[in-house]
């Protein structure tokens, strides 16, 4: 799988409610910044993603400007993504134009996120 394929597979998993933690590097140094949180270490990332999957539905993830690069066993990406979801605990629909960036590391032939940063210029 290419870096772009890995990112698209992650977006597909997000849309369908599949587990997201397997996409991340198994490391205490893994980090994920979301719109309203920072998760440090693979255990925090896995718990945060598990909670997100349990409390959200109806994901829309539309990539419009994916750029990737790689050198050896390290890769990076940037993307503009429209995303929306329904918070099942609050019954609120959220939609944002977001910017994604991050780094990936190849482990046993598979790309894994070492870091992901998602941001928006919109007020939360």
Tokens standing for 109?
Answer: 């032939």
The number of folded domains in the chain is 1
- What is the structure's pLDDT at 123? 67
What span, in angstroms and rounded, lies between the C-alpha atoms of 80 and 62?
Answer: 8
| CATH number for the domain that contains residue 47 | 3.10.450.50
Confidence of residue 122 (pLDDT cuts 50, 70, 90): confident
107 contact partners, CB below 8 Å, separation of at least 6 = 25, 26
Question: Is residue 19 domain-resident?
Answer: yes
Task: For 106, list phi and psi in degrees, rounded to 5.
Answer: -85, 125
Question: Is residue 124 domain-resident?
Answer: no
Question: Is residue 88 domain-resident?
Answer: yes
pLDDT in tens, 61-74: 999 999 999 999 99
Residue by residue, DSSP assigns 49-77 as HHHHHHHEEEEEEEES--EEEEETTEEEE
- Range of the structural domain that residue 49 is part of: 3-119
Question: Is residue 72 domain-resident?
Answer: yes
Question: Is residue 81 domain-resident?
Answer: yes
What span, in angstroms and rounded, lies between the C-alpha atoms of 41 and 45?
Answer: 6
Question: pTM surpassing 0.85?
Answer: yes
pLDDT in tens, 102-113: 999 999 999 999
Residue with tokens 């066993």: 73
118 contact partners, CB below 8 Å, separation of at least 6 = 33, 34, 35, 81, 98, 99, 100
């Amino acid at each position: 799988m290419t870096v772009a394929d890995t990112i698209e597979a992650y977006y597909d998993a997000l849309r369908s409610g599949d587990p997201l933690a397997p996409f991340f590097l198994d490391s205490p140094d893994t980090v994920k910044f979301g719109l309203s949180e920072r998760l440090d270490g693979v255990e925090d990332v896995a718990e945060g993603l598990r909670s997100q999957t349990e409390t959200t539905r109806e994901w829309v993830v539309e990539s419009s400007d994916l750029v990737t690069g790689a050198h050896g066993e390290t890769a990076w990406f940037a993307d503009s993504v429209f995303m929306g979801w329904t918070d099942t605990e609050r019954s609120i629909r959220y939609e944002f134009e977001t910017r994604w960036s991050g780094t990936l590391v190849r482990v046993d032939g598979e790309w894994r996120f070492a870091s992901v940063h998602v941001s928006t210029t919109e007020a939360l």
